[in-house]
Amino acid sequence: MRPKYKRIILKLSGEALAGDKGFGINQDVIDAIAVQVKEIVKLDVEVSIVVGGGNFWRGRSHEGMDRTTADYMGMLATVINSLALQDSLENIGIMTRVQTAIEMRQIAEPYIRRRAVRHLEKGRVVIFAAGTGNPYFSTDTTASLRAAEIEAEVILLAKKVDGVYDSDPVENPNAKKYEDLTYIEVLKKGLKVMDSTATSLCMDNKIPIIVFSLKNPENIKRVVLGEKIGTYVKE
């Protein structure tokens, strides 16, 4: 079984780590993801991960608060998730490094692109924490930015739903799932794949995005092996 990609970014939303409760971290869920990450590391895929923070905090959901402060809190939430993921991966023998976009040297390395690439080449999983380090951005944009910087071939966007639909499949049972989309279609139709900043960055740098469900964590490996599941977003 030969993987289709050599270097990837896996974007996990905060919600993906929370399981059914929707808040905090579900250890069983995070451990199941770690096992699947190990599977693709064993295939010699260079794996980097961007984790969201929505299971703890989202800046834009706190209107009464200064937005920059609320966003910094969101970035800190991604650090909590990154450390939990690091712990889970190291428990099963995967070497990892967490790199933060905001310096907190006692906890993790600062983000240094060349160093991140070196870790990947040595087979370590690199977890990018604290988003881009800037308010008003998202961890989807972080995934796009880091993918461009480290020259990842693809972003695996693991979600609760199994792809991109023309309307919300939870509310509309007739919602239609797209197999393939272009970046422009995503932007024009206002589809909620990623925010527009993240989508534009992928478009400008020709980084394909594969949106799929993490309900079955084995999907990570299936996508890496080239099986066509979910929705592909590209030129």
Residue 163 sits in the site that holds ligand UDP (CB under 6 A): no
Tell me the H-state helices in 92-206: 113-121, 139-150, 183-189, 196-204
Exactly one of 32, 134, 153, 169 binds ligand UDP (CB under 6 A); that residue is: 134
* 136 is an annotated ligand-binding site residue: yes
Tokens 């070196």 map to which residue?
A: 118
Region 176-215 residues binding ligand UDP, contact defined as CB under 6 A: none
Region 142-161 residues binding ligand UDP, contact defined as CB under 6 A: 142
| Nearest distance in Å: CB 66, ligand UDP | 12
Distances from the Cα of 117 to the Cαs of 46, 50, 79, 153, in angstroms?
Answer: 9, 15, 20, 13
| Nearest distance in Å: CB 143, ligand UDP | 9
DSSP labels for 148-163? HHHT-SEEEEEESSSS
Q: How many CB atoms lie within 10 A of CB 206?
A: 10
Q: What is the DSSP letter of 60?
A: G
Region 12-71 residues binding ligand UDP, contact defined as CB under 6 A: 13-15, 52-54, 58-60, 70-71
Q: How many residues bind ligand UDP (CB under 6 A)?
A: 24
| Nearest distance in Å: CB 160, ligand UDP | 11
Residues in the annotated binding site for UMP: 53, 71, 132-139
